[in-house]
Amino acid sequence: MPFNQALRLSSVLLAAAAFIGLALGTNLPEWLLLLTGSSLIVTLLRTLGVDRLRRVLDRIRLSTAAWNVLTVIAFAGFWVDLLWVSADLLPAGVHFLLILMVIKLFNLDQRRDYLHLYAISLMAILGSAASTTDLWYLPVFLAYLLMGVWTLLLYQLTKESDAGPTPPSLPDKSALVLRGREEITPELFWLANGLAVGALCLTVLIFFTIPRVSAGFGQKGSGEGLRTSGFSETVDLGMIGPIKRDPGIVMRVELPDRTGVQMDRFYLRGMAYDRYDGKSWTTRLSHRRALAESPAGTFTVRHASARSPRPLGQIIRQTILLEALDTAVLFAAPYPESISGQFLAIQSDPTGAIYLPFPASARLEYTVYSRPAAVASADLQFQPALYTEVFAQHFLQLPESSERVGALAQEITRSKTSAYEKAQAIEAYLSRNYRYSLDISPAVQTRPLEEFLFERKTGYCEHYATAMVVLLRNVGVPARLVTGFLATEWNEYGNYYLVRQRDAHAWVEVHLPHSGWVTMDPTPAVSETVGDSQWFALSRVVDTLRLRWNRFFVQYNAADQLAVVRGLKEGTTVVRDRAWSSFSSLLAPAGDLAGRILRHVAEGNVRLMTGFLSFVVLGVGLVVWLMQRKPWDRRRRTDPISRERAIIAQIYHGVLRQIARNGIPKPRNATPREFLQLVQQQWAAAGESVSTITELYCRGRFGKVILTQQEIDLAYHNLRQLTLLDPPLR
């Protein structure tokens, strides 16, 4: 099969695959199914060489202008369809697409038309992909892929040939092919199919490996989540230490408004623990309750333990992008009041910690409004406090500790009266007299607290916090241990905190009679473990880009697509209403007439109907006639002479290229005949062909006689001969 015919065949099959996809996937009206289907079959038969059909089709060939008019009419029809008939973008677009496909199928002359057809088929296959999730789509898509590879290959092959584009008047005859191989050889056949299979395999590979929506197999931590420490029901003393050097990113916290936020120490609260047994912390308040969802997907947190009215502090709004972790805890600045995000349910426990029902498998984003605790002025003086037994059981519980701890607590707080003063004194004592270090042997210690307080006097946040809680409880102040993250790395480019594994932290919450739970931290501020070098500034820029990427691309999921579609739908409704109102107000009389006609039609007034229809048909016919004759355009652009000139000039340019490739470029000042002499001198073998073409070229290019088909074929033939010749001897 010649290349050109093969290209035509594969193009039509490509369109057919796309059409079948649409026909199966969407609800097409019968007339459109019939029209497109029959057009495809007719074109297919014609391409396959049914001669009688070809003759009939050639007879009804319309001019380009007529096709353009049809396209414009189809476009008008699309608007009518969009605004009134289907009243929806997708079906109207699909109908328009199929009409365009039919128009192009019958108008498949130039390479441009082929490209249009490919674009239409691509949109059709995309449309069918959007409208279905059924399995039958797979074979249709496979057929489309195969045909697509074939078409691309053939398109390129016919384009690569030397004569350039196929002249418009010679669709099949003058097919020029590379090196004279006109037919599709078995090698080429299998090569193309192999390419298609290869492309398919590659697609499948990409389908399964490239991250989609927001997770992929190769993504770090996905599936199981980052391993974190300190957020289970039990925390052994010394668990946080080993991760204090891990720079893995846990979350990013965006703060739109930074007023009232202590910038260098931004706490992100995770869980609170009440019971210390001398070695590890556990929480006995782990029964969770689901939070009530207010209408807009926002969950409100109620603090069961905060009985007294909380002093009003500045509300902090945070948007947190949390990596997939192995814990269900959601982090937030103390104390969260409401949380919103794409959650099905949110739970909280009595200590104010927030949980997902189960650990998230993918990165998630949520917004939290927090109100930090402030110390009420009443708490600055001594206030007698009475705690319920349950409360005391939880927050005044003490392990069997030695006398020394109790004595130390008494000694530190000797001169202090109020609970807050005592807490401050202990906080100051610990942070002043103990040294912060991560170099603690992880060996199992029998009494880690005593060891820290009296022997080693070196430790990290867990030790400090545990010591403070135990000391406070020893002097009768309720306290609990809190784990979470202490964010210190502010990214000034993106205005967010970057929180890493090594920012894991433990601190203390002290209960004051009037203020409720207040955050305190005995751990001394530690100088950055890693210097703030230039590299860090750069890495912050890079991380900003990473956050943006996540925000705008990865998180752009099906829900967002649906939102866009919904917006479009609403938009079209608005446009339709507005168009209709302006249309009716502008053309009220015409609209009135149209309404009357429609009424008549509804009443079955056949005569008026036929009159109206014939009027429309006549009008359309007149427009088509005018476009074809173009009485206003005296200089016909498609006069046969200039078309022939273009063809023979193309052939001649092909000759020039071919000869130049053999080392004889045409001097700019040489006339065709002078160049012919040059060629005859330097490349005798080519002389005859070049002479024939030059003669035809001179006649066709500068003369007023139209070259005959035979002459153009002759020129093509000679050009082909030229490509087969051996290069001139040097």
Partner 1 sequence: MKSTQLVSSIQENIARVIKGKSKVIELTVVSLLARGHLLLEDVPGVGKTTLAHSLARSLDCSFKRIQFTSDLLPSDIVGVSVFNRQKQGFEFVPGPIFANIVLADEINRTTPKTQSSLLEAMSEAQISVDNQTHPLHQPFMVIATQNPAEYHGTFPLPESQLDRFLMRVQIGYPSPEEERKVLERPQSLHPAEALQPVATAQDVLALQQQVDDVLMEDSLMEYLLAIVLATRQSDLLSLGVSTRGALALSRAAKALAFVRGRAYCLPDDIKELAPAVLSHRIMVSRSQGLRHRSFEQSEQIIQDLVESVPVPV
| Closest separation in Å from C-beta 655 to partner 1 | 10
- If one asks whether residue 654 binds partner 1 (CB under 8 A), the answer comes out as no
> Which residue type, as a one-letter code, is found at position 669?
N
- Stretch (H or E) spanning 638: none
Our CB check for partner 1 shows the closer of 41 and 670 to be: 670
Taking CB under 8 A as the rule, does residue 653 contact partner 1? yes
| Position among 135, 702, 724, 726 found at the interface with partner 1 (CB under 8 A) | 702
Judged by beta carbon, residue 223 or residue 703, the one nearer partner 1 is: 703
Residue 477, beta-bridge partner list: none
Give least dist CB 704 to partner 1, A. 5
Residue 693 near partner 1 by CB under 8 A: no
Task: Tell whether the torsion through CA atoms of 332, 337, 339 and 345 is positive or negative.
Answer: positive
Between 287 and 704, whose beta carbon lies closer to partner 1?
Answer: 704
Q: CA angle, corner 559, sides to 557 and 560, nearest 5?
A: 70
According to the binding rule CB under 8 A, does residue 119 interact with partner 1?
A: no
Sign of torsion over alpha carbons 210, 213, 218, 220 = positive
What is the closest distance, in whole angstroms, from the C-beta atom of residue 705 to partner 1 in the complex?
Answer: 8
Residue (of 585, 38, 489) closest to 247 by Cα position = 489
**CA neighbor of 254 nearest in space, from 492, 557, 483:** 492
* In the complex, least distance from residue 674 CB atom to partner 1, rounded to whole angstroms: 7
Burial class (CB in 10 A: 0-12, 13-18, 19+), 380: middle
Residue 657 touching partner 1 (CB under 8 A): no
Exactly one of 115, 564, 601, 705 binds partner 1 (CB under 8 A); which one? Answer: 705
Nearer to partner 1, 29 or 640 (CB): 640
Nearest one of 315, 344, 310, 345 to 332, comparing CA atoms: 315
Cβ at position 697, least distance to partner 1 in Å: 9
Helices (H) and strands (E) in the chain, counts: 21, 21
Among 701, 713, 717, 728, binds partner 1 (CB under 8 A): 701
**Which listed range, 276-284, 312-320, 550-558, 694-702, lies at the site for partner 1 (CB under 8 A)?**
694-702
Contact 215, 361 (CB under 8 A): yes
Which segment (178-186, 337-345, 592-600, 650-658) binds partner 1 by CB under 8 A? 650-658
Return the number of the residue (571 or 703) whose C-beta is nearest partner 1.
703
- Return the structure tokens found at 359: 């650990």
Binding test (CB under 8 A) with partner 1, winner from 60, 669, 710, 726: 669
| Three-state DSSP class for residue 431 | helix
CB nearer to partner 1: give 87 or 698.
698
CA-CA-CA-CA torsion sign (484, 519, 404, 390): negative
Give me the residue label for tokens 């170099």: 439
Q: Minimum distance between the CB of residue 541 and partner 1, rounded to whole angstroms? A: 54
- Helix orientation angle between 684-702 and 709-724, rounded to the nearest 10 degrees: 150
| Interface with partner 1 in residues 673-692 (CB under 8 A) | 673-674
Nearer to partner 1, 122 or 649 (CB): 649
DSSP string, 363-398: -EEEEEEE------GGGGS-------HHHHHHHS--
317 binds partner 1 (CB under 8 A): no
Q: Are 291 and 358 in contact (CB under 8 A)?
A: no
Q: Kindly report the number of other CB atoms within 10 A of residue 127's CB atom.
A: 21
Stretch that binds partner 1, among 48-56, 218-226, 606-614, 702-710 (CB under 8 A): 702-710
Structure token digits, residue 77: 């029809």
φ, ψ for residue 513 (rounded to 5)?
-60, -40
Q: Is 65 in the site for partner 1 (CB under 8 A)?
A: no
Q: Which of 193, 402, 410, 671 binds partner 1 (CB under 8 A)?
A: 671
**Which of residues 303 and 666 has its CB atom nearest to partner 1 in the complex?**
666
Q: Which of 191, 575, 618, 670 binds partner 1 (CB under 8 A)?
A: 670
Q: Which is nearer to partner 1, 495 or 671 (CB)?
A: 671
Contact call for residue 646 and partner 1 (CB under 8 A): no
Binding site for partner 1 (CB under 8 A): 649, 652-653, 656, 666, 668-674, 698-699, 701-705
